[in-house]
């Protein structure tokens, strides 16, 4: 590796100049584009926000330039099973798309497009207000009713995004003296909502009902009266695993708490009649608060909270800030979600779920057969464990060039040296496409490990 080229300062040209893979990896390693994380720029000694941002941008630009920054990509075509993404260094990569969240491939469904266009023609493109004022579109009230009926949890409040629903339900219901007991891996919207609502946030070990019990007991030993919200997800977004919802719901009631389940990744695309983990675990209509996002299986931005209490629904309208102070879903979004629910609950919906899980099974088994650790249980999220961040960054960059587009998840989104590809499958994917992607990933991962070893050896030789 000592005959490495003297590379220019703007290394995106390194790829454009068709240097060898070894030379590219070495340059990325040498320039720090395989190390560090966004966490480094969260709390720094910098006094000003601009200094902090500048420090981040300096590091980030190096990664972009070397092609090891896998974020901030832009769709150049629709997010179907094959797509094109423009990376921040300007390159457009085309290939098999495992990076979009459209589990049932409904974003490209002609019937959904017709419904959205019809709604625009009838009601225009904007809700022009929050749900607390005049932003409710009458069709939105119908959607609330349809969702409530489907979930056997009849009172539904819509939110502008899934994130807003998760944040809003906790921030809206909990007060400073209350407690939130939350799975340590719960999504950012839930953690942020909890942190904004109260300092009494108690983490419990991932999926660990007994640890949740201990936390609840500890709280009730000191505080017999204030509210407690127990928080979990149907399918966890980084690990693709599920809690025992029944056990958590009875635990919540035992301690005078309420249970909140975020079903963003499982509602619509799994379970009987698309009812996700709640349905699959026989808990339909038996969970206190169900919160979801439309962005994974319903082809739209938007979110909701379903409850059995009319009072809670209306309380959220005025006390959940993203409901009260943010504009409501637009007519096209509402029509899109309504049409998706119609399809999801029809025979076609079941066929799409079956096709999705066939593809999931094919992808998982091909990856496992090639010696790769695939985490969690079968779900549209297939987390592919790569380990070290440097190896993962190289793998992720090279597979994109080789025709597999997927998202890289690295520290701090997951723990150190547990970097992974978060592959997201859709019903359009074929078993052949899954086999092709698995083969490219397995071969590239091996190559990346060798490249990183060689980089370390070369830099050790240079320093001695
Ligand atoms: C578990 C979970 N909840 C909520 C959200 C937020 O949903 P949205 O992106 O629709 O705002 C996400 C998003 O990725 C998620 O993974």
- Domain ranges (residues) in the chain: 12-100+348-463, 109-344
Look at domain 109-344 and name its CATH class.
Answer: alpha beta
Strands 419-424 and 404-409: antiparallel
Q: How far apart are CA 343 and CA 331, in angstroms?
A: 18
Ligand 1 pocket, 233 CB below 6 A?
A: yes
Tell me how far the alpha carbon of residue 434 lies from the centroid of ligand 1, in angstroms. Answer: 25
109-344 matches 12-100+348-463 in CATH topology: no
Tell me how far the alpha carbon of residue 264 lies from the centroid of ligand 1, in angstroms. Answer: 6
Contact 234, 261 (CB under 8 A): yes
With the most atoms of ligand 1 within 8 angstroms of its CB, the residue from 99, 107, 159, 163 to mutate is 163
CA-235 nearest atom, ligand 1: 1
**Nearest protein CA to atom 7 of ligand 1, as residue:** 162
Ligand 1 pocket, 299 CB below 6 A?
A: no
Buried b (16+ CB within 10 A) or exposed e, 116-149: beebeeebeeebeebbbeebbbebbeebbebbbe
Ligand 1 pocket, 264 CB below 6 A?
A: yes
Ligand 1 pocket, 162 CB below 6 A?
A: yes
> End-to-end distance of the chain based on CA atoms, in angstroms?
15
Ligand 1 pocket, 169 CB below 6 A?
A: no
Q: Helix 21-30 crosses helix 49-66 at what angle (to 10 degrees)?
A: 160
Q: How far apart are CA 406 and CA 423, in angstroms?
A: 6
**CA angle at residue 72 from 71 to 73, to 5 degrees?**
95
Ligand 1 pocket, 237 CB below 6 A?
A: yes
Element (H, E) at 313: helix 310-319
| Two tokens, residue 278 | 């709640």
Ligand 1 pocket, 187 CB below 6 A?
A: yes
In degrees and rounded to multiples of 5, residue 183 shows phi and psi of -60, 135
Tell me how far the alpha carbon of residue 293 lies from the centroid of ligand 1, in angstroms. Answer: 6
Q: Helix 389-401 crosses helix 431-463 at what angle (to 10 degrees)?
A: 130
- CA torsion angle 218 221 223 229 (round to 10): 40
**Nearest protein CA to atom 9 of ligand 1, as residue:** 162
Ligand 1 pocket, 291 CB below 6 A?
A: no
Output the CATH code of domain 12-100+348-463: 3.90.1150.10
Q: pLDDT truncated to tens, each residue of the chain (464 aa)?
A: 333 333 334 445 445 554 799 999 999 999 999 999 999 998 888 889 999 999 999 999 999 999 999 999 999 999 999 999 999 999 999 999 999 999 999 999 999 999 999 999 999 999 999 999 999 999 999 999 999 999 999 999 999 999 999 999 999 999 999 999 999 999 999 999 999 999 999 999 999 999 999 999 999 999 999 999 999 999 999 999 999 999 999 999 999 999 999 999 999 999 999 999 999 999 999 999 999 999 999 999 999 999 999 999 999 999 999 999 999 999 999 999 999 999 999 999 999 999 999 999 999 999 999 999 999 999 999 999 999 999 999 999 999 999 999 999 999 999 999 999 999 999 999 999 999 999 999 999 999 999 999 998 988 887 77
Q: Helix 110-123 crosses helix 331-344 at what angle (to 10 degrees)?
A: 150
């Amino acid at each position: 590796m000592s005959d490495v080229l003297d590379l220019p300062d703007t290394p995106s040209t390194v790829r454009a100049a068709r240097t060898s893979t070894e030379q590219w990896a070495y340059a990325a390693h040498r320039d720090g584009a395989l190390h560090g994380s966004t966490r480094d720029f969260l709390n720094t000694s910098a006094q000003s926000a601009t200094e902090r941002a500048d420090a981040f941008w300096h590091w980030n630009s190096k990664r972009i330039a070397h092609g090891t920054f896998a974020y901030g990509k832009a769709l150049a075509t629709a997010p179907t099973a094959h797509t094109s993404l423009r990376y921040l260094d300007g390159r457009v990569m085309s290939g098999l798309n495992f990076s979009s969240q459209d589990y049932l491939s409904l974003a490209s469904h002609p019937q959904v497009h017709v419904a959205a266009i019809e709604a625009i023609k009838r009601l225009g493109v904007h809700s022009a207000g929050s749900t607390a004022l005049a932003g409710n579109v009458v069709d939105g009230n119908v959607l609330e009713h349809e969702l409530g009926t489907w979930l056997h949890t009849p009172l539904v409040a819509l939110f502008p995004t899934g994130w807003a629903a998760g944040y809003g339900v906790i921030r809206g219901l909990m007060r400073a003296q209350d407690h939130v007991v939350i799975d340590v891996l719960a999504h950012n919207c839930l953690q942020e909502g909890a942190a904004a609502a109260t300092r009494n946030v108690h983490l419990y070990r991932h999926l660990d009902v007994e640890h949740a019990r201990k936390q609840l007991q500890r709280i009730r030993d000191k505080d017999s009266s204030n509210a407690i919200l127990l928080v979990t997800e149907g399918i966890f977004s980084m690990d693709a695993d599920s809690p025992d919802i029944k056990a958590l719901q009875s635990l919540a009631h035992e301690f005078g708490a309420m249970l909140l389940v975020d079903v963003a990744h499982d509602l619509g695309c799994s379970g009987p009649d698309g009812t996700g983990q709640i349905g699959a675990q026989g808990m339909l209509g038996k969970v206190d608060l169900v919160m979801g996002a439309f962005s994974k299986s319903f082809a739209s931005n938007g979110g909701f909270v379903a409850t059995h209490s009319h009072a809670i629904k209306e309380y959220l309208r005025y006390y959940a800030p993203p409901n009260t102070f943010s504009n409501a879903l637009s007519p096209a979004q509402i029509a899109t979600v309504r049409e998706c629910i119609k399809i999801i609950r029809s025979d076609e919906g079941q066929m799409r779920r079956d096709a999705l899980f066939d593809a999931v099974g094919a992808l998982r088994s091909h990856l496992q057969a090639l010696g790769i650790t695939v985490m969690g249980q079968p779900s549209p999220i297939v987390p592919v464990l790569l380990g070290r961040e440097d190896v993962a960054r190289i793998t992720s960059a090279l597979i994109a060039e080789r025709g597999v587009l997927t998202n890289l998840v690295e520290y701090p989104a997951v723990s150190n040296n547990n970097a992974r590809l978060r592959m997201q499958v859709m019903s359009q994917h074929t078993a052949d496409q899954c086999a092709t992607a698995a083969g490219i990933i397995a071969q590239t991962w091996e190559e990346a490990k060798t490249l990183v070893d060689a980089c370390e050896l070369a830099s050790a030789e240079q320093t001695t």
